[in-house]
Each structure stands twice: as structure tokens, then as C-alpha cells.
Amino acid sequence: MKPVIRLLALLAGLYVGFRFPDIDQRTDLLVHRSIITHGLLAPLLLYAVLGSRRSPAPARLFIAGAALAVAVHLSFDLFPRAWWRHALIHLPTYGWTPTIFSWAWIALSIAVCFFIALKSAQGWLGTAMVLICSTAVFSYSLPTEHSLWRPLVAAIVGITIAIVLAARRTNRDGFQT
């Protein structure tokens, strides 16, 4: 029963993470590409609240799924047709941010979200699940997107940075620092 619950938690996280960034299009409170929904804030908050090593595996797998789905979503968002208005990150009370800030925010968020996914899934099996699920979510997203190669490179670079950072946080004895 435990593997089924863990799988369901991971799938629920994937679903939520896949849908969350564009929730700003379904509310009058936020503008599309709000910094609140299009970035690392929600996955980081989830990780801070539920990502402890003492948290149950289903909670950690939910976070891993949600964070990696957000990272994949942002990999596509990093390459809009044009950096103008709704392609830019929007800050409440400030407005649209400059292109360089928007690009940097999304790029940073991709790497951080993949890092959160790896840290939440824990271990080599968790890393394998993150890689497999990332590929699945990316493939699932393709039919509705206008670009393949640049988002794929962004996702690969983001997950590579996350793997390097996760590995650097492990000391020579294999213990987390």
C-alpha cells in the first residue's frame, strides 16, 4: 500500500505543479506571469513547510512532483514568442519587470525548483524519479507549446545545475551537510 500512496502523492504534486503557474489567468487578483505563480516562491514555501527529512515520504514526493512540474513549465516560459507585456514577470503594485529581470527570475526559478524536487525526493531512486517525471511532464507539455529545443536545453541546464548543487551539499562520507 505504501508504494501506491507514494505514487499517488507524486502524481498529485505533478498535477498541481503543472497547473499552478497559470492559475493567475483564472483570477482577478493576479496578472498573468505574476511573480507569485511564475517562479520559485510556491515550491520554496511548500519545501519550507513540508520538506523536512522527518516529513512523511508522500509529503516529500508531493513537493518533488510539484516543484519539477513548475520547473518544466518555466522551461517553456523562458522562451516566449516576444518579451513584451504578459511574457514579462509581473510584480503586484510595481507592474511589468524589465526583460532581463524576467528572464533571470525564470532561469533561476527553473534551477531552484529542480533542486527542491531533488532534495525532496531524496537519494538515487528519488533522483531517478525526478528525471523520469521531468521527461514525462516535458513530453506531455509539447503538443501545446511552440518550441522544443530551447526549452529542452533550459530544462537540462536547470536540472544539471540542481544535481551539481545537490551533490556539493553532500560531504565525502555521503551525509547531508
Residue pLDDT, tens place only, 39-54: 999 999 999 998 777 8
Q: What pLDDT score was predicted for residue 122?
A: 80
Q: Over 80: is that where the pLDDT of 172 sits? A: no
Q: What's the whole-number mean pLDDT along residues 111-136?
A: 90
pTM, two decimal places: 0.91
pLDDT confidence bin for 124, thresholds 50/70/90: confident
Q: Which residue has the higher pLDDT, 171 or 139?
A: 139
Q: Over 90: is that where the pLDDT of 16 sits? A: yes
Q: Residue written as cell 518533488?
A: 64
| Segment 135-143 long-range contacts (CB within 8 Å, at least 24 positions apart) | 137/14, 137/18, 137/68, 137/69, 137/72, 138/72, 138/75, 140/18, 141/18, 141/72, 141/73, 141/76
pLDDT confidence bin for 177, thresholds 50/70/90: very low
Q: Over 50: is that where the pLDDT of 173 sits? A: no
The DSSP symbol for 40 reads: S
